[in-house]
Amino acid sequence: MNGIVPLYKPKGNTSGACVYRLRHLLQEKKIGHTGTLDPDVDGVLVLCVGQATKLVNRLMDSHKIYQGQVTLGVATTTEDASGEVIARKPLAQPFDKQVIQGAMQQLTGTIDQTPPLYSAVKVQGRRLYEYARLHEPVERPTRRVTIYNFQMLADPFFNTATQQQTINFTVECSKGTYIRTLAVQLGELLQVPAHMSALTRSYGSGFGLAQTFSFTDIETQLAQGRRDFLLPLDCAIPQMSHYELSPLQWQLVQNGHWLTLPEQTAPELALYYHRVLKAIYQRQTQRFVPQLMLLNNDR
């Protein structure tokens, strides 16, 4: 079984738990995901089944879009709502909308981030959250990410009872961006503690929320003998040039041979046989050579 499943991940589940559940439903061991979502985050989580796991890195490279909420006035250990409170600063008055927009603009473009201590980033072979749980000191690496767009979705709300302010936002960013950390960075620019209080991934790996399937959808389809949720592998490369192989060329490709295709000028080619994606070849001078083989990929 091979294909791509754009899953709607519900809150309360880890990405790993979603992979495990789909393995059980499909009776297929070879399944991976294209970018971890924290348990408190819902939304698009693209899963790759069988031969599609070879395309995980390509799918992960795409930009992502989120909708969420930042709360100003409180910071937590995990930088989101699930952590313990480590700092409070009641706001005497709400921040002006233009001030917040200015801070968000400062965080647009290429920026540096230090991943949260409670994250899956590896340092010397161990996850950061392992150091955190054991209360062991560790130097967190800094990474460079790109924020393409960071804007408010509505006017900020100020809670006079808690003296906290919430900001509903949308952000479009590169892979590797921690939205939790972005919320903290916004608070730092405003000189108040902050955390990410809600988050939904609305777009990732080329799929939007409207294209996702819930586990209920998947279970219903399987009970009906259907697998509409399992999309073909070429959904991962919609912009790549296609080439239909002749029977002779197909024999060469099966043996990992290079191809001479003088009429083709694209840097990469998706090779098909009988309209089924079989391989991705890369241009090298006057010929195309194997880059990724997907020979046994019939749905």
Catalytically active residues are 38
Taking the C-alpha atoms of residue 120 and residue 127, their distance in angstroms, rounded to an integer, is 5
Taking the C-alpha atoms of residue 14 and residue 30, their distance in angstroms, rounded to an integer, is 18
102 contact partners, CB below 8 Å, separation of at least 6: none
Taking the C-alpha atoms of residue 112 and residue 272, their distance in angstroms, rounded to an integer, is 41
Q: Are 60 and 35 in contact (CB under 8 A)?
A: yes
- Beta strands, E only, the chain: 3-9, 31-33, 42-49, 64-72, 74-76, 85-88, 109-113, 122-123, 126-127, 143-152, 157-159, 164-173, 194-204, 207-208, 241-244, 268-273, 276-284, 287-293
Taking the C-alpha atoms of residue 297 and residue 54, their distance in angstroms, rounded to an integer, is 11
Helix axes 15-26, 215-223, angle to 10 degrees: 0
The number of residues making up the chain comes to 299
Q: Which of 117, 41, 134 is nearest to 78 (CA)?
A: 117
Helix axes 179-190, 97-106, angle to 10 degrees: 120
Structure tokens at 217: 């959808």
Alpha carbon distances (Å) from 74 to 105, 192, 204, 207, 280: 22, 8, 29, 33, 49
